[in-house]
Homo-oligomer: A and B are copies of this chain.
Amino acid sequence: MVHAESSTFAEGLTKEEVYTQVLEQASALLEGERNWVCNLSNASSLLYHALLSLPRPSSGVNWCGFYVVDTINPSQLILGPFQGHVACQQIPLGKGVCGTAAKEGKTQVVEDVEKFPGHIACDSRSKSEIVVPILQAGKVVAIIDIDCAELAGFDEVDQKHLEGFARIIAEGSDF
């Protein structure tokens, strides 16, 4: 049975070490359950608490979750499970950081969201953002979206491991 302790992380680990633990935990967490809502709900919690356990800037993460491609209207993303404050319900494909990542199928690492054309400000506290697409059979089905209250909250280490996290979710879930 899954326990809350699997999203409790020791202090003093490096970002590489924490992400390695997150990816191992994610594989275990998704075993035996392919329901995407269940899997994204636990995945957002795992990832959020992992990032909070790290030093700055990662500890400044203030939103961590998912948007999924709306099956009723595939030209927009719709809010999925997340950790953090209330968020925008729909995002048009191609709009803002999330919409761009979803449309292009490519990770967006944004050091300063104010400088991103068409940025959607759900929360004025968010200063930087990373958005990683989740692909199944070459098509974007969802995105991982993480906001940080500090500028330049994310780097290539985050990108590498979050892209691995996205692959684990894609392989382990039916969307």
User: Residues of A with Cβ closer than 8 Å to B?
Assistant: 1-8, 29, 32-33, 35, 37-38, 41-42, 45-46, 49, 63, 65, 68, 70, 72, 78-90, 120, 122-125
**B86 and A42 within 8 A (CB):** yes
- Cα–Cα, bound, A120→B1 (Å): 10
Query: Please, could you name 13 A-B residue pairs with CB atoms under 8 Å apart, sorted by A?
Result: A1-B120, A2-B88, A4-B123, A4-B125, A5-B85, A5-B123, A32-B89, A35-B72, A37-B68, A41-B81, A42-B89, A49-B86, A83-B83
**A1 and B88 within 8 A (CB):** yes
- Cα–Cα, bound, A29→B82 (Å): 16
- Cα–Cα, bound, A86→B30 (Å): 12
Q: Which of B4, B78, B86 contacts A85 (CB 8 A)?
A: B4
- A148 vs chain B, min Cβ distance (A): 14
**B90 and A122 within 8 A (CB):** no
- Cα–Cα, bound, A46→B89 (Å): 13
**A86 and B4 within 8 A (CB):** yes
- A31 vs chain B, min Cβ distance (A): 10
- Cα–Cα, bound, A89→B68 (Å): 20
Question: Which applies to chain A's interface (DSSP): helix, strand, loop or mixed?
Answer: mixed
**A123 and B3 within 8 A (CB):** yes
- Cα–Cα, bound, A117→B19 (Å): 38
Q: A4-B123, A65-B41, A125-B4 are in contact. Are A33 and B81 (CB under 8 A)?
A: no
**A86 and B122 within 8 A (CB):** no
- Cα–Cα, bound, A29→B78 (Å): 14
**B4 and A122 within 8 A (CB):** yes
Chain B residues within an 8 Å CB radius of A125 = 4
